[in-house]
Structure 1
């Protein structure tokens, strides 16, 4: 049996932004909310989760990535604010959003969806929402307690950072958490 690689396409987050997000995450950890907190080392911005991919299909995925990024100039973003999926009342995923050229990320995600569908990757049926996951619920989250923690945290915004490529990652699930390995990069084609 041929082994499939668990993969996704994402934007890498600069170390200084991860550190700022991690500090904010620390305040929420202290609140005692029952989330499984994401390790800051692995923080990224997912554009498309692919799931199990055969090694022989990786080249096709990378080709679509390069075709999509060729039409984009570098983007300036900042991590800003907090939110939850599907919403604060039924929080399953807690995140920080992205501001700046988030619309550009949406167009890039849409290009990837359309380009990968002919290769057999199912298109998402929900609208793309640029975010960095901070934690995933481990049971029911009290919406009032979550909103109080967000209010206590106050406004949040990191320094600006530039995105000039996307990365295909392999994800290995281990007892200590997921380990991500970069398989390929697709640089943006327009420089400014």
Structure 2
């Protein structure tokens, strides 16, 4: 597989959002015995997972996807509720989602469609915007869905999205996601 790398387009979260989520993790981690907690610098919202790609196809994807951001202004997202993917009693992913955003959905659809038009074979699962916080339930006791709640239910936590990035994964490093290209919203 030499010459190929693992990539994905994502919403890059502002530092203050990463820090707020990390503070929640520090306070609540004991209630949720997951095996691996995501490094705060790796928090993001995946738009389109590209997998392993050759450099020339990746360059074409960057050029093509740039059009997705023409006339897209920065927009607001609000942290919402916690959830899981996988078996209910032993989830494989613990996440925090955001309230519905038609702008985010529109950007994701454009990026996805432009990548498939280039011939990239992409995951066909429906888009479910979320921030992965932890992986692999690690307890003999089943996961208790009743522990899940809204993030900061007392007041909404809103943040502005002003850039989308292309990340490259470095599985043996912490943090493991490196920005390859940045797309500014204007």
SS in 2 for 1:7: strand
Does the Cα contact within 8 Å between 1:106 and 1:129 map onto a contact in 2?
no
Q: TM-score, normalised by structure 1?
A: 0.83
SS in 2 for 1:41: helix
2:148 corresponds to: 150
Deviates more, 1:31-40 or 1:152-161: 152-161
1:61 corresponds to: 61
- Gapped runs of 5+ residues in structure 2? none
Return structure 1 stretches of 4+ with deviation > 6 angstroms: none
- For the structure 1 residues 120 and 138, does the alpha-carbon distance in structure 2 shift closer, same or farther, using more than 3 Å as the test? farther
Query: When you count helix as a share of all residues, which structure comes out higher?
Result: 1
**Pairs within 5 Å for 1:27-46:** 27-46=27-46
Does the Cα contact within 8 Å between 1:82 and 1:150 map onto a contact in 2?
yes
Q: Return the alpha-carbon distance in structure 2 between the equivalents of residues 179 and 111 of structure 1.
A: 26
Is 1:179 aligned to 2:176, yes or no? yes
Number of residue equivalences:
185
Q: TM-score, normalised by structure 2?
A: 0.85
SS in 2 for 1:173: coil
CA shift for structure 1 position 10: 0.8
What RMSD over aligned residues (CA atoms) do the two structures have, in Å? Answer: 2.6
Is 1:137 aligned to 2:136, yes or no? yes
2:165 corresponds to: 167
1:116 corresponds to: 115
CA shift for structure 1 position 71: 4.1
Q: Return the alpha-carbon distance in structure 1 between the equivalents of residues 126 and 132 of structure 2.
A: 16
